[in-house]
Structure 1
């Protein structure tokens, strides 16, 4: 049943509604007319009557307060009450006291709100009343409190009076009494308010579970409210004080019940009062409730009968259309709010075609992004488990036809501006790399069947190109080379940058493309330094390791000497000569970088021999990693000057000049001639005319090792030569080297790791 209802559209419901309207319309019109015209009119009249009643109640209460206020004004000017009463002896002057009591008793009966009237005389500190008699204020608290009431600015005012002489706290209206001269008041009338009468007058308007109360302008209750729930009374008070409605009468909801709330301000007895009355709306609209229920019951019964008849009729009419709709699109709602069965039948096939076209368009737009992500993950090694057939099927799904195709990689490297004076920031490098990637992508679309551009973080950009089928290897390779020349010329001309393009070998298998990508990226290292634009073909590349090269060992040695002697300017000159020699000999980026790495290693060794801490000297930086990231020769020179040479020289003592260097070099020449004789550092110091300490420091600074180690190394070299080229015994060789045999064996093993005999067996040769 639920499924049948879910699939029915507007045709069914319109038919059902037509029957319902035809049958129910007369009864609905009558019911609506009775309810809205009759019931609403009655409710409106009852509300108006309630408002009038509340207004009359508030006016009546206002009259009581007005009479009380007028009466209080007359008391203030009573001629029978004067300051002489302060000197009156109430016990002796019986008749005068009796007359005063009668006057107070007559005052008490003049208004139903008056419970008692008392006369307070300030000088005698007494209170006189027919109910209390004559009482003297005994305590200082009572005297101070009663006297403070005479110090107020108002002539008549209402307050709470709590005196020890009285039994409890009472609300009183105080009327100050002054003589004819208008001097300070000599006393006051205290009119005690009848609290129970005041509560009854105020609460008389609360009916049917409502509430009525009186409060002052500060929100303090003057009467005890008639509400059964004190929280309801507090909520009403808060609503009136905070101004829940700007009208004198408004509807207030509390605990799910609605109340008609009326409030009005009264200015009496020297201050403002607020009268609040709340009556349940159910009490007001009670006469209408029974009539509304009868109308509702009759209408509901009639509606049920009509629904049953309409349900039976509509089902009979709808069965043929329902069968057709269930066959077209069972369980699917019409889109765009259209639920008409006839319209759904007409638009069914159009919607299907639109969805198909939209889906096809979305797939075509997302294919390049999906293909790029897939290839990036493949080149990162995430899909090496796939077979060649699976890879081709994947690329086929992403829109590439790779059957019987060949693959090649072009890797483009940007090296900076053509003009040396044009300096480029990191932001410029990122922008030109982005522009070069766009250019390469556009060229790949026009010169290759398929192409995918892959940017790298080191300003290099790779492009995987798929070459057309039915071509020989040479034709395909020639096509790839022509494309590489086009890329090289276009990028260099448009961006005015130094560009190198490396072209990989051609492969027939997709799984082999990561290997040729790595080959092409490595081939960039074989570019010739100094050429603005060049192309490197991996197929024709001859590795530099197969050729003979000349490393500038002499310049390296001189540079190390300059560093040890603290000659920064001379070291910078030898550094440029060193790099220039590397460029002239090999010329490739790879050879220059390898040579500079070798130089950094030699300097690192010199640092250790100078007893310096490399981590402290170079601030803990990984110097080899930093040098490996630099490819431009000029940047390498600047890096060596700032990061290596200058920190080294700043730590080298300044006391050794070029003359001392010449002295050490002269000593070295003599050592090479006399090292097989008994020589000592003291001998050369005395011969050179300098101190032993100064010569020792200079010797280590220039050579990187002390005198004893240097001589020992020369003698051990001679020892190894004699071991290999002669048949002399170890004792004879020790005598030649000026060592005793045990010491020679021990020191030889220390430096070489094996004994002289083991060394001879390992390097045995036929003696000359």
Structure 2
């Protein structure tokens, strides 16, 4: 920072402060709001979890309570409570036991007892006998002290006594304490007095249902995010197997009890400390049995998400600060760039340097340097004159390619001494037709274009033309005229082009053609005119070489006729057949017919490349049919790119004969000699020659002197399909061609393909192509 320029340092500091301050403020506010919201959401979530846990447990208890009431009030139980029972009354005992089993539908119970105090018998889920015979005698005696007709008793091996919560059915407060019982460990007992009337009168009996703590504990939420969740009975004792929290939360439980009694609210949330660690406590008291559901979550868990947000917010803030810093550096440098460019520009000028060790203000430094710049203006003008010609050519190149605007032209045109006072312009493009038959080689083309460019500059006065230039493989000149009549302008430009062509033929003996654009009056239309002159030269394909072409004379006449396309395809087939047979004479005859057909139709030059590329592709296909590589067989000069560079029809025809037909004929002859015994290809050739006759595998075997089974196996291996399928597919390809290119009836096509009736032909065609011949013809037309 100490070595930054003064002005840049000021810009950087200002943008950093302007960008960093909002980022820091927004990040801090966002973290504070997010942390507060998360803490509130965690509180609400914990209370919701407690509520859901309470509802799950109480739903089971209430369902069991209702089922038990129905059982107690059933005629079976009421009748049994009025009469003695002994072990011989098996059916009666089994019916009572079945009632216990029905209670299992609600939840799994550990044990159930029906006790008749007057008749002194006990029926349990697993046994029957006298009350004195069972270990529950003392337990039943303790239940006589309860005043409610329905109550819940918690029993835990860590507890010294049971507690009696509020009655589920009566809502009466319990004041007495339950004495110690001898019972199974870790159970919750639901006790019904029979009859179910709250009174101090000794009841006739009891229904006792024991539910294992583990069964009720399964309904408690075990979400690790909700912390420690446990249940306390009416007397603040742990049960439901949560005795591992004993002594840990004793003080906390007292605080909860005080808050419940003080506020009168059955639920709440507060913060406390357990073992020196801050925790968040949520609690809910059950109205059913007075049990207290408690969730204790470490504040570290609650703030964990806040810490993640803090990390994310911090990282985001740092990234934004980094981006702000980068933007500040980039923006400062961008704003400083004009001054920097001026500073760098003036450093090369002769002027006193600032004293060492002192940072000079940029503007003062630039001012000193600019004084030197103005003093050296004359010297710079002298240097520019030496490069004047190159600058003119560079400027013209940009003008022709559309890289300069009219405003720039008006400003710079005067510097380059271009013609003034003109009313119309036109573009002449000159290209060498061919170097074959001349004394020049292909490598001389660029040198010849340079010589032609110099000749044009000397032949045409500077008042009527801009600086001639070379672009790609052409020489381009922009002519300027004061004429306004279009006919006169066209004749004048033709005269100039003819004069140039004659001089080049005379001095260089070069065959050249010239394309002339339409005239225009706006300098901004020069790129369009340049393209028009190029398109005009493409007319040589159909009109020949050594000509002068105007853009207006080569406009397209429409799409190629469908009939011409069909005729060309038929001649292509004949030409390909002659090449396969190695008949050079027939090949030349068919190719002459092909060119003659093109000449008779007087095609537009733009259609020739398409047709020639199509023919080229067909020749490539012949090479590939014999398994040859096009590049290896024909060489680099037989490529599609080379064809597209040819500008005249004579060049194209000579190129096809020399570069394509003769090498392919030689290649086919070599392949025939080396692969004469290739059975599969000989069979394919038979199919191609005799597809319109009755041809079978047996006929091929007789022709080739091989067994039909052997021929079938060889053909399937080489062609990938069996002989019959290949013959059918080949015939269908012929059928598709005729459907596309001729008006033959379907019955006529079937007959030409040797089908006995049109129905068999249609069925085969639809099987292979997926459609009928009629629909296929409609789709292709």
Shorter-chain TM-score bucket reads: 0.3 to 0.5
TM-score by length of 2: 0.40
TM-score by length of 1: 0.41
Structure number with bigger Rg: 1
